Amino acid sequence: MFSLLLKDVLILKKQFLLVLLFILFANYFMVFSTSGIVFIPGLTVVLTYALVVQSCLLDDKANSELILLSLPLLRRDIVRTKYFSLFFYALSSILSTLIFQLIKALLSHPTAFSLTWGIFLTSIFAASLMGSVYYPFYFRLGYVKSRIISTVVFFTLFFGSSFVAGLLNHHSQSPVIQALGKAVQWLHDLSTLGSTTLTLLFILLFTGSSYLLSRRFYQRREF
């Protein structure tokens, strides 16, 4: 499985360089909150999603799946590696952003901030959510057929948030909305350990369910 992960990393060498350049550009020229509460998770999701899709695209162009399936490899290992690569890309994005921010701090730039545990968990959660939505479509339909669906899902998750926020604000007196508000407040009032545990459990549950679904699709897929 490590060899499969290394394969994905090696074929994305140029893309990783572009990611570093994009992070450098974002850190120095984009306007964002100094707390990083929106910037880091948003940047992590965009870059992780881009690397995930690029990896699948390059596999499709090189017919890597047919080559891998001709080797003594289990399909579930191929699926599992894709999910591990998802977290690897997310961690690489966060680490690169942190390094650039540390450099900015050393240069006394006012926008430098420290990476908090909450921001880190939010970034991992957001990236895992996006990847867990994408992979079942990919393993069920292949890259070409899943491209349109994944694009729609991506923009829906990003631009639909403002619509949902407006809808919630308009119906703020609704009992359902008030109940959701109380739930959010309860989560906010939890201790660091409690909120961390809940976040990790949700990541594990959602990603695990997505993995099982992807594995089921891939086992039944014909080439």
pLDDT in tens, 82-109: 999 999 999 988 888 888 777 776 776 6
Query: Over the stretch 118-177, which tens digit does the pLDDT of each residue have?
Result: 778 888 988 998 899 899 999 998 888 888 877 777 677 666 655 655 655 555 566 655
Full-model pTM: 0.78
Query: Over the stretch 54-63, which tens digit does the pLDDT of each residue have?
Result: 888 888 888 8
Helix (H) or strand (E) holding 36: none
Query: Over the stretch 175-213, which tens digit does the pLDDT of each residue have?
Result: 655 565 666 565 556 666 667 777 888 889 999 999 999
Judge whether 15 lies within some domain: yes
CA-to-CA separations, 114 to 93, 110, 171, in angstroms, rounded = 15, 12, 36
Burial 190-223 (b: 16+ CB within 10 A, else e): eeeeebeeebeeebeeebeebbebbbebbeeeee
* Whole-number Å distance between alpha carbons of 126 and 1: 25
Structure confidence at residue 157 (pLDDT) = 64
Query: Over the stretch 10-30, which tens digit does the pLDDT of each residue have?
Result: 777 777 777 777 766 666 655
Domain membership of residue 200 as a residue range: 2-165+195-220
Q: Does residue 17 sit in helix, strand or coil? A: helix
Judge whether 170 lies within some domain: no
Judge whether 177 lies within some domain: no
Judge whether 189 lies within some domain: no
Q: Does residue 46 sit in helix, strand or coil? A: helix
pLDDT for residue 112 is more than 60: no
Residues 32, 45, 95, 10: what is their CA dihedral angle, to the nearest 10 degrees? -140
Judge whether 99 lies within some domain: yes
Number of domains composing the chain: 1
Does residue 48 contact residue 88 with C-beta atoms inside 8 Å? Answer: no
Judge whether 175 lies within some domain: no
Q: Does residue 30 sit in helix, strand or coil? A: coil
